[in-house]
């Protein structure tokens, strides 16, 4: 989802689009990682020195509440990480480096659907997080 699409969704939801919010949306759209609040704040300050940490916290909480971003804890309750709600994917977290790898897998998708069907449910949402260590060669 582009920053323009995120901004439109905010407008559609009646959210006033301030310059700090635009900057934060831009940071999230262009993030190649899953930045923490602190990382979003540091990156935002480079674009707009008036942005406060409180603004970043409030904006991320609001965007999460609206379903425009996902908040992940990745087994680290002290540092939530954020990403734009785009195409469905899962995460593999390297427990040595903290690196987060996004992936999709058709076999997993079919298995999830089969499990839900067998239990008599319609699958609405699923977040899969795998934790691992790089194999030694």
Query: Has this prediction a pTM greater than 0.75?
Result: no
Structural domain range at position 117: 90-132
Angle among Cα 112, 98, 123 to the nearest 5 degrees reads 15
Q: What ranges make up the beta strands (E) of 60-107?
A: 69-72, 81-84, 90-94, 100-103
In the chain, how many domains are there?
2
The Cα 53–Cα 42 span in angstroms is 9
Q: Which residues of 17-30 are buried (b: 16+ CB within 10 A; e: fewer)?
A: eeebbbbbbbbbbe
107 and 77 in a common domain: no
Examine the domain organization and report whether 111 and 47 are in the same domain.
no
Q: Spell out the per-residue pLDDT of the chain, length 137, in tens.
A: 666 777 788 888 888 888 888 899 889 888 888 888 899 999 999 999 999 999 999 999 988 888 788 787 876 666 787 887 777 778 888 888 878 888 888 998 899 999 999 999 998 888 788 899 999 88
């Amino acid at each position: 989802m582009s920053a323009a699409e995120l901004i439109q969704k905010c407008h559609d939801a009646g959210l006033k689009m301030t310059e700090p919010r635009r900057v934060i949306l831009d940071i999230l759209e262009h993030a190649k990682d899953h930045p923490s609040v602190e990382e979003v704040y540091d990156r935002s300050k480079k674009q707009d020195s008036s942005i406060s940490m409180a603004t970043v916290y409030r904006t991320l909480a609001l965007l999460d509440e609206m379903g425009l971003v996902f908040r992940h804890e990745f087994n680290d309750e002290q540092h939530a990480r954020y990403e734009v709600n785009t195409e469905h994917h899962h995460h593999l977290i390297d427990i040595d480096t903290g690196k987060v790898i996004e992936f999709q897998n058709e076999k997993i998708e079919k298995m999830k659907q089969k499990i839900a069907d067998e239990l008599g449910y319609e699958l609405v949402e699923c977040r899969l997080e795998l934790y691992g260590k790089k194999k030694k060669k």
